[in-house]
A and B are shown apart, each in its own frame.
Chain A
Amino acid sequence: MNEQSLWSVFVNAALVNNFVLAYFLGICPFLGVSAKIGTATRMGGAVMFVMLVSSVCAFAIHHVLIFIGVPFLELIAFIAVIASTVQLVEMFIKKMSPALFRALGIFLPLITTNCAILGLALFQTNRGYGFLQAIVYALGAGAGFTLALILMAGIREKLELATLPDIVQGTASALIVAGILSLTFMGFAGLGA
């Protein structure tokens, strides 16, 4: 069992080892949905919710699988749970806000293949977090993901107005911005340790 304090788990997941900028998890939505701040915020919310639910499920699954002695099924079980959670969120958003549903488009079902979520489930298992720690870890990771997404969207909205050379446009410019953001997040190193 890992003895880290809850606050340090949170800061670690959100800032020091930010999922997007330090672990490179969830790069696809990070580059894909970060054009507008509004969409970015809601996408962050959806990811955070899926993270929370799958973190709780992953905790339970891990202990059940260990108990019945088939740890090699872990990966398959995790991905099945995540896929069903995403399906649930998708139905919920479609019902509650069709406009948001259209804005998120293909990236909503793609949360299933968002490595940040499976990564979260795997990391919390590897580090042996307890139940409360796992929940806080999921919250921190979600907050970190949302923060990175919003920062990125803000910069890209401004960047739209600038004239860039032809070859830098698109993914290349987004990657350079991400690199600089990642460099600034290095400044948090040592904060939660």
Chain B
Amino acid sequence: MRPEPQTTMPTDEFIKGLWRENPVFVQVLGMCPVLAVSNTAINALAMGLATTFVMLMSNLLVSTLRNHIPKQVRIATYILIIATFVTIVDYMIEAISLELHKSLGAFISLIVVNCLILGRAEAFASKHRVVDSVLDGLGMGVGFTLALLCLGAVREVLGDGALFGVALFPAGFEPWIVMILPSGGFFTLAAWLLVINYVQQRSAAARERAGELSR
């Protein structure tokens, strides 16, 4: 973590989660839900929102209590806090849409063991002010949701010929079943990582050239 929280704008804590420290594409954290529920865009969106809520609330609570939690039992405390909010989300989704609850299945409960949330609680919320922590949780959550949507959209369009359940192609389209299957998740994420690596290397090379010119 950067040691100078005073010099950065509060909005920066929010922005960094979107791209520079994107939890999925850059930090490669929380892979299990990313791969498992990104077979359709709607599942991906629901999972992203649920995770964002849990991360926001747990960051808020951890940050508020950060001076009262004994150091030795902090991880266990964080897990209990997270598990509480996940239980709330689980019952909430079940109340809102039973169908969605069925298609996400055990993966809602598995938000508890999403390393991303515990990672933010330990690495950020336990050391920063409440406002910063909330913004951080929100930014990471939105970044996570965006990444999930990127995957879910690609997999649904190719594997089902639809987006958010709306058919995109004429009737002759042969869906790529493999994209809906588990292996499609691995391939799609690998493809996204390749694209992002490529973009980052290009921009790094461009910066280097610019540096040489200015010298």
Contacts and interface: CB of A to CB of B under 8 A. Distances in A.
Binding partners A and B = yes
Interface of A: 21-28, 31, 72, 75-76, 79-80, 83, 110, 112-115, 117-119, 122-123, 126, 166-168, 171-173, 175-176, 178-180, 182-183, 186
A176 B187 CA distance: 6
Interface string B69-88: 00000011001100110110
Contacts of B185: 24, 179
Interface residues of B, number: 41
Interface of B: 28-29, 31-33, 35-36, 75-76, 79-80, 83-84, 86-87, 90-91, 105-106, 109-110, 112-115, 118, 178, 181-187, 189-190, 193-194, 197-198, 201
B86 A171 contact: no
B69 to A, nearest CB: 16
A171 B193 contact: yes
Contacts of B183: 21, 179-180, 182-183, 186
B32 A25 contact: yes
Nearest to A167: B197
Nearest to A23: B36
B106 A172 contact: no
Given A27-B32, A115-B113, A126-B106, A21 B182 contact: yes
* Chain A to chain B: the 3 pairs with minimum beta-carbon distance, closest first: A179-B186, A175-B190, A182-B183
Given A166-B201, A167-B201, A179-B185, 10 more contacts: A27-B31, A28-B29, A75-B87, A76-B87, A112-B113, A113-B115, A168-B194, A172-B194, A175-B189, A182-B183
Nearest to B36: A24
B113 A22 contact: no
Contacts of B87: 72, 75-76
Given A24-B182, A167-B198, A172 B79 contact: no
Given A119-B110, A175-B186, A175-B193, A76 B80 contact: yes
A22 B184 CA distance: 11
A83 B197 CA distance: 36
Nearest to A184: B183
B178 to A, nearest CB: 7
A186 to B, nearest CB: 7
Contacts of B112: 75, 79, 118
Contact of A179 (B84, B91, B187): B187
A176 B112 CA distance: 27
Contact of B31 (A28, A79, A80, A168): A28
Given A24-B31, A27-B35, A115 B110 contact: yes
A75 B113 contact: no
B186 A79 contact: no
A81 to B, nearest CB: 12
A119 B184 CA distance: 21
A24 B35 contact: yes
Contact of A79 (B79, B181, B193): B79
B76 A83 contact: yes
Given A172-B190, A182-B182, A114 B84 contact: no
